[in-house]
Amino acid sequence: MSKIKVMDEALANKIAAGEVVEKTMNVVKELVENSIDAKASIIKIELIDSGVREIKVIDDGIGMDRDDAILAFSRHATSKLKTLDDLFNINSLGFRGEALPSIASVSNVYLKTSDGITGTELTIEGGKIKEVLSADLKKGTTITVTNLFYNTPVRLKYLKSLYTELANITDYVNKMALSYPNRKFILKNNDKELLNTSGNGDLLKTILNIYGVVVASKMLKIAGENNDYKISGYISYPELTKSNRSSITLLINNRVVKNYEVVKAILESFHTYIPKDRYPYAVLNIEVDPFLVDVNVHPTKMEVKFSKVDSLLNLIYETISNKLSAKTLIPKAIQDNVEDNYYKDLESKDLEVNDNLYDYQNAEESKQEKTKKNLTEITFDFSNSASNTKDNGHQEVEEDARIKNMYPIGIVHGTYIICENELGMFIIDQHAAAERINYEKYYHALSTHSKNTIDVLIPYKIELPSHEYLILEQNFHILDNLGFKYEEFGNNTIIIRSHPTWLPKYAPLEAIKKIIDIIIKEEDFDEEKFNEKVAITLACKMSIKAGDVITLPDMTYLINQLKKTKNPFTCPHGRPTIITYTKYDLEKLFKRAM
């Protein structure tokens, strides 16, 4: 019985239709999505000259009978969408019934298909069926597209280089393989194999097939859900980043999509863990009731809109942030040759291999603790919960258990503190470490609106250009909220009589000037962003610098304070504070271990 029907006009008119064939990737995308909708378990994509000369897609799906094979090339003919209600509950990748007729109209198409009962061959030229024959009964479908754009030379002229076309196809097939790890994908160009996944349902192994062992070994598994959404997938350790967003794969109910808000939520989760303009690797699948997501907003079906989007963004942010905050994120200076062991791990039933790759806490504890002198300790005002506060209102911050005790033994180039413990050698960037400590101190004081102030012996006079003073005058309330006591003094001048106690004691005037500069430059004031800028700026400018001379007790104090921060692994700009040479790394360097 035929499954494919032509939509009625009212339904067809409600679809976000449009030309879908602009480049070779569009052809591959539509044919591969049809194969997935046909429940294929193996999908082969074979290209000649990046698909410009020929694109062949072979699958072992349910196939079509003779009538469906012919009708499939009619406009708005589909088996996936029959009524208007179906448009709001889309569970298939394709649904418009436009792809095959659009492809056939600008190329020559050969179709061979069988549903196991009847076999059919079609030859189509420029959208017109030239020949219909019987074929063998091997279940599945093969579609071969040749002479693409032969009858639309303008479109052919604007194809990119063969390399660019192939790169676009490869990127798309990679993302489809990540979306459907339970399907086997094989991609070839001019008989050269570019991708071959196992199709065993293991997402991490698919990541390995696509990105390689180094990336796969540095991925963290994530999962979370709320009343509306369920998310799962992998994110990279912060040390592993790229200069563009191509390493982020978003999936909605296994459909590859693009969504700026979701990407932004992922990046905000990595805030201060990675440098600005760097992007993590991520594969994130979002499961949601189809009624809550609209995929019918663009002809490519790549753009989507969500209902209850805030619920989704909060879930993503909390899930990734909690995962990162629970992990030891000290990168190794020397990367292990993990390939052989990693492949063995992938063959085992338990694939949780990389959550502990950098977890040095699992190393054997030393039987005897080294002794060290107890130095003066300061507890910054990092309030997380009322239950952990002392009588003086200050937070009693515990040292981060993710970092083992380490003992400084010296400094290199006046910048890098050398430490050791039973696990190996650690190198700490003194400026990055001090930045992290001060950033969290300042950000906490700003976000909790600490109003404790101190009077200055001689008031600070700050004079500004008239245009800057006018801006500051409009934003005096910001200084009020921060706790400054000031008054206007003549033209374009204010004097500061008291300031918050959290300002650096050795350079309060410089800090005040930087805060005023930020106020002047802020176009649309947002308290959270303002607090962030102030905290980062003060932390960067007011911390010890590379080359500043510090003593061994200073180093010990710095390390102890770093362990009390929420994220001791990176500075607020995302640069690492600590790297390590494990004991085994050192033994390999000196050929004590082979």
**Domain ranges across the chain:** 5-200, 218-327, 458-542
Q: Give the torsion sign (CA, 180, 108, 296, 84).
A: negative
Does domain 5-200 bear CATH number 3.30.565.10? yes
Same topology, domains 5-200 and 218-327? Answer is: no
Beta strands 282-288 and 248-252 are parallel
Give yes or no for a contact between 530 and 478, defined as CB atoms under 8 angstroms apart.
yes
pLDDT digits (tens, 9 = 90+) for 354-368: 443 334 333 333 333
CATH number for the segment(s) 218-327: 3.30.230.10
Which of the residues in the chain have pLDDT under 70?
1-20, 76-97, 294-303, 334-400, 594
Return the pLDDT at 343: 45
Burial call 18-39: b when 16+ CB within 10 Å, e when fewer: eebbebbbbbbbbbbbbbbbbe
User: pTM, whole model, 2 decimals?
Assistant: 0.73
The HSE-up count of residue 502 (CA atoms within 13 Å, CB side) is 27
pLDDT digits (tens, 9 = 90+) for 239-275: 888 888 888 999 988 888 888 899 999 999 998 899 8
Dig out the tokens for 51 from the structure: 């698909």
H/E element, 492: none
Q: In the prediction, which pLDDT does 334 show? A: 67
pLDDT for residue 398 = 53
Residue 347 is predicted with a pLDDT of: 44
In degrees, to the nearest 5, what angle opens at C-alpha 61 toward C-alphas 58 and 62?
A: 135
**Residue 251, beta-bridge partner list:** 256, 285
Token pair 């360097």 is found at 589
271: which DSSP letter? T
- According to CATH, the superfamily of the domain at 458-542 is MutL, C-terminal domain, regulatory subdomain (3.30.1370.100)
Rounded to 10 deg, the angle between the 24-37 and 162-179 helix axes is 20
Relative to beta strand 407-412, strand 416-421 is: antiparallel
- DSSP tag of 570: B
Q: What is the pLDDT of residue 8?
A: 47
